[in-house]
Structures are given as C-alpha cells and as structure tokens.
C-alpha cells in the first residue's frame, strides 16, 4: 500500500473513530440521563437515541459503540505504524487491516439489517461508522499485495519484531491497557427492575428534610379538576410510555405506592394522565422521538376495560426500547386482551388528547410531570423525596384535621 493510500486509510479510520466516540458519548449520556436527546435525533425514523436504547446496542453489557471506538483506534494505530515503517511492514499492515475489516464488515451488515429491518430506524452515526468500515474493506482489499494465506506467517514474523522492539511493546501495552480500562470503567445499564433500588436509599438528612418541607409549604398549587375520590393525597402523573424517565419513576415509585396501599388503603390516589411526545396525537410536538407513544397510551386505556391495565403498563415499560406501533397492537391483543384495537383507536385517541389538553393548560411540556396535591414537579423526584412529599401531605392533612 502506497503512502497516499495509507493516508486515506488513516482518514477513514479517524472518521470512524470520531463517529464511534460520538456514539459512545450519546450512549453514556443515555445511561446517566435517560431523558437525554442526542444531536442526531432528526425525526421519528432518524434517531440515534432510539437505536442506542434498543437491546441491540450492547453486547454482553458492553455498548457496541465502545467496541467500535476501540476497533477504529486499533485500525488508526496500525495505519500509523504502516506510514512510518518499512515497505514490507506497510504491506503486512494492509493485510491485517483487510482481515480485520472483513470481520467488521460482517458486524456492520448485521447491525444495519437490525437498524433498517427490525428497528426501522436510521442512525446517522452508525452509517458513518459503517461507511468507514466499508471504505477500509475495499481499500485494503485492493491494496493487499500478497495472498491472504501468507498472513499467518507474516504475522508471526512481525510479532517477533514487535517483541524485540521496546517502543512497539510500550505502544501495544498502552493500547491494550487503555482498552481494558475503558471496558471495565464504562458504566453499564441498570438491569431490569433496578430502578426500584433507590427506595432503600438513606433518607434525607434533617436539614434536607427541612428545606424540602419549606419548598412544599411555599410552592403554588393548582386545581387540576381530577377527583381525589376520598384520598388524602392525590398524585397525578403526566406520562409518556416511551419516555425512559417515566419508566424509571414508575419502577422506583411502585413499591412506595404499594406500601401506602397496604398500610393506608385509600389514603393516596395515584392517577396517570397521558402526554405522549408524539406529533400524531400531541400537536405541541414538532419533532417526534416517541413514535409509538400514542398507540401505547390507547392500548393501556383499552386494557383497563378488561382489567388488564397493570399488565399492559408493565409490558409496555419492560419493552420500551423496542416498541413499535405494530408491536403495541399485538401486545394489546395478547397482553391487554383487547380484541378491537384498530376499530376503537381513533375514538380512544380523543380521550388521550383530552389529557394532553389538560396538561398544556397547566404548563406541562415534558414528561414525566407530577402534581402532588396540585404542586407541580417537572421531572421525577428521587424516591426518598417522593415518599417524603407524600408524608408531608399526610401530616399536613392530619394537623389541619386536629385543629378543626
């Protein structure tokens, strides 16, 4: 491979490395902030976020983007070595890259199939990475000057050279050490159901409790017009079933609400209101990133009529990363026992729109948005503060009753 071809190969590797690092950053942000929307979320069908939220985005818990970044970093390192090495080594590097890019091509083709055929999504960063691999594959395939059957023998010869060169050993150790550290230190997604773990987190300190109670006492409240049905505390959540923070708050608050239901039946009423971030039913949304949210809201409403609401909610949140309108319809039949989803979709969607109109009336712009006895909370509280808010409202009601 000539030096000009090697420079082009280096450019391809660096472009792929840049795209994979950007993808790794997006994946990291989604782990630490599930409400994050990436810069490449263009529309409902062009969305890196939805691809990285899917179960196909990791391999044994490791983000595919991280593995891609390490592959491109290794490719760039190999090309760099080829640029400064003698001609024989540069030729060998071309063969190594061709073998590596052949394997990478198989991986790329699989993930592009998943993206387009299964998820029905376009990931811009993924396309850039795929393009870089394809370019390296064809370039190195055309420039490899020897039969690939000779590659093992040439590799063994270069390995002996590497072992006898201290600088090469140092670079190899640094690269492998960095790769292992990256794989070990990169945060992993929480397992299913782990969102409930914060319930056992240490309670707020006395100072934190006092500050929070001051916030509860002085914040303005509104009347949503939602009946309390005799409950002392009314919690209203404006929800989007494709919203990751909505799922997290559902999992985190479920044991808290169950405890109140067991210890103080009827004292706390929890009401879900629909606010899908989907332009199909929410005209305040201009960039749909949750294209199955309207269908999910309708499915849960219809399942309620068959006493299958809880099962439907659990299914939707459990399958949130891979939801599609067709998958929701299928689950409505099988999980929600709804036989007439299509026939009743339009009329039920009007009820969803009423919730959306109510939310907009009281300033809801994102999900989840909570109202605890009329006090608006943008986003979800940590579980211990959610519990403290309910305790505050119960205590406030008891004190008011004692005064009377």
Same domain, 83 and 30: yes
Same domain, 176 and 245: no
Residue 51: the pLDDT is 79
Indicate the pLDDT class of residue 33, thresholds 50, 70 and 90: low
**190 inside domain:** no
Residue 391: the pLDDT is 93
Q: What would the two tokens of residue 170 be?
A: 């140092």
Indicate the pLDDT class of residue 35, thresholds 50, 70 and 90: low
Query: Using N-to-C axis directions, what is the helix angle for 124-143 and 3-32, rounded to 10°?
Result: 150
The residue from 129, 152, 185 where one domain ends is 185
Map tokens 């300033």 to a residue: 363
Reported as a single tens digit per residue, the pLDDT across 165-214 is 888 888 888 988 988 888 888 876 544 434 334 444 567 788 888 999 89
CB 51 within 8 A of CB 112: no
Please give the backbone phi and psi of residue 313, each rounded to the nearest 5 degrees, phi first.
-60, -45
**193 inside domain:** no
CATH code of the domain in which 17 resides: 1.20.1440.130
| CA dist., res. 327 & res. 319, Å (int) | 10
Residue 329: the pLDDT is 95
**234 inside domain:** yes
Residue 47: the pLDDT is 76
**Which residues form the domain of 70?**
3-185
**232 inside domain:** yes
The number of CA neighbours under 13 Å toward the Cβ of 9 is 33
Mean pLDDT of the chain: 87
Indicate the pLDDT class of residue 285, thresholds 50, 70 and 90: confident
Residue 199: the pLDDT is 40
| CA dist., res. 22 & res. 125, Å (int) | 8
Residue 343 pLDDT more than 90? yes
Strands 268-274 and 233-239: parallel
With a pLDDT cut of 70, the percent of the chain lying above it is 93
Same domain, 132 and 239: no
Separate counts of helices (H) and strands (E) for the chain? 14, 6
Same domain, 140 and 276: no
The residue from 185, 208, 224 where one domain ends is 185
Selected residue with higher pLDDT from 178 and 351: 351
Same domain, 352 and 244: yes
**191 inside domain:** no
257-285 burial code (b ≥16 CB/10 A, e <16): beebeeeeeebbbbbbbbbbbbbbbbeeb
Q: By CB neighbour count within 10 A (0-12 exposed, 13-18 middle, 19+ buried), where does 288 fall?
A: buried
**41 inside domain:** yes
Mean local confidence (pLDDT), 59-82:
88
Residue 44: the pLDDT is 58
Task: Select from 380, 391, 388, 377 the least CA-distant residue to 203.
Answer: 388
Provide the terminal-to-terminal Cα distance of the chain, rounded to the nearest Å.
90
Mean local confidence (pLDDT), 153-162:
86
Residue 83 pLDDT more than 80? yes
What is the SS3 assignment for 367?
coil
CB 116 within 8 A of CB 155: no
Report cis status (omega within 30 of 0) of the bond before 368. Answer: yes
Same domain, 169 and 236: no
Residue 188: the pLDDT is 67
**195 inside domain:** no
Residue 151 pLDDT more than 50? yes
Q: By CB neighbour count within 10 A (0-12 exposed, 13-18 middle, 19+ buried), where does 61 fall?
A: exposed
> What is the pTM (predicted TM-score) of this model?
0.57
Same domain, 63 and 36: yes
Q: What is the 3-state secondary structure (H, E, C) of 264-326?
A: CCCCEEEEEEECCCCCCCCCCCCCCCCCCHHHHHHHHHHHHCCCCHHHHHHHHHHCHHHCCHH
CATH code of the domain in which 281 resides: 3.40.30.10
The residue from 154, 185, 216 where one domain ends is 185
Same domain, 134 and 267: no
Residue 133 pLDDT more than 60? yes
Same domain, 109 and 251: no
The dihedral of CA 356, 359, 361, 363: what is its sign?
negative
Number of domains within the chain: 2
Residue 389 pLDDT more than 90? yes
Map tokens 């890196």 to a residue: 48
Residue 20 pLDDT more than 90? yes
Same domain, 234 and 271: yes
**174 inside domain:** yes
Q: What is the DSSP letter of 201?
A: S
Same domain, 206 and 104: no
Same domain, 151 and 34: yes
| CA dist., res. 267 & res. 391, Å (int) | 11
Reported as a single tens digit per residue, the pLDDT across 227-239 is 999 999 999 999 9
Residue 193: the pLDDT is 38
């Amino acid at each position: 491979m000539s030096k000009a071809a090697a420079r082009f190969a280096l450019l391809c590797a660096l472009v792929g490395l840049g795209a994979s690092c950007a993808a790794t950053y997006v994946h990291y942000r989604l782990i630490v902030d599930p409400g994050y929307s990436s810069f490449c979320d263009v529309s409902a069908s062009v969305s890196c976020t939805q691809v990285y939220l899917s179960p196909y985005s990791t391999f044994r818990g490791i983000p595919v983007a991280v593995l891609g970044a390490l592959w491109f970093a290794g490719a760039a390192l190999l090309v760099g070595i080829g640029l400064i090495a003698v001609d024989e080594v540069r030729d060998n590097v071309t063969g190594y890259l061709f073998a590596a890019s052949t394997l990478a091509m198989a991986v790329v083709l699989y993930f592009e199939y998943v993206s387009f055929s299964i998820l029905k999504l376009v990931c811009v960063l993924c396309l850039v990475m795929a393009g870089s691999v394809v370019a390296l594959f064809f370039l190195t395939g055309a420039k490899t000057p020897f039969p690939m059957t000779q590659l093992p023998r040439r590799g063994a010869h270069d390995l002996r050279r590497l072992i006898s060169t201290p600088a090469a050993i140092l670079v190899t150790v640094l690269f492998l050490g960095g790769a292992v550290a990256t794989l070990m230190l990169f945060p992993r997604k929480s397992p299913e159901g782990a969102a409930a773990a914060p319930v056992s987190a240490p309670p707020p300190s006395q100072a934190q409790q006092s500050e929070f109670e001051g916030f509860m006492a002085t914040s303005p409240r509104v009347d949503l017009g939602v009946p309390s049905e005799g409950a002392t505390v009314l919690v209203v959540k404006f929800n989007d079933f494709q919203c990751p923070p909505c799922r997290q708050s559902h999992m985190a608050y479920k044991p808290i609400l169950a405890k109140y239901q067991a210890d103080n039946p009827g004292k706390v009423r929890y009401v879900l209101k629909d606010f899908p971030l989907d332009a199909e039913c929410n005209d305040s949304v201009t960039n749909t990133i949750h294209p199955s949210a309207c269908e999910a809201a309708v499915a849960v409403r219809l399942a309620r009529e068959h006493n299958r609401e809880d099962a439907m909610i659990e299914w939707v949140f459990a399958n949130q990363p891979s939801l599609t309108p067709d998958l929701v319809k299928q689950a409505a039949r099988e999980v929600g026992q709804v036989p007439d989803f299509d026939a009743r979709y339009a009329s039920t969607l009007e009820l969803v729109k009423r919730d959306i109109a109510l939310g907009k009336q009281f300033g809801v712009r994102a999900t989840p948005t909570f109202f605890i006895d009329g006090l608006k909370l943008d986003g979800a509280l940590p579980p211990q503060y959610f519990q403290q808010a309910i305790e505050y409202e119960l205590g406030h009601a008891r004190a008011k009753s004692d005064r009377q």
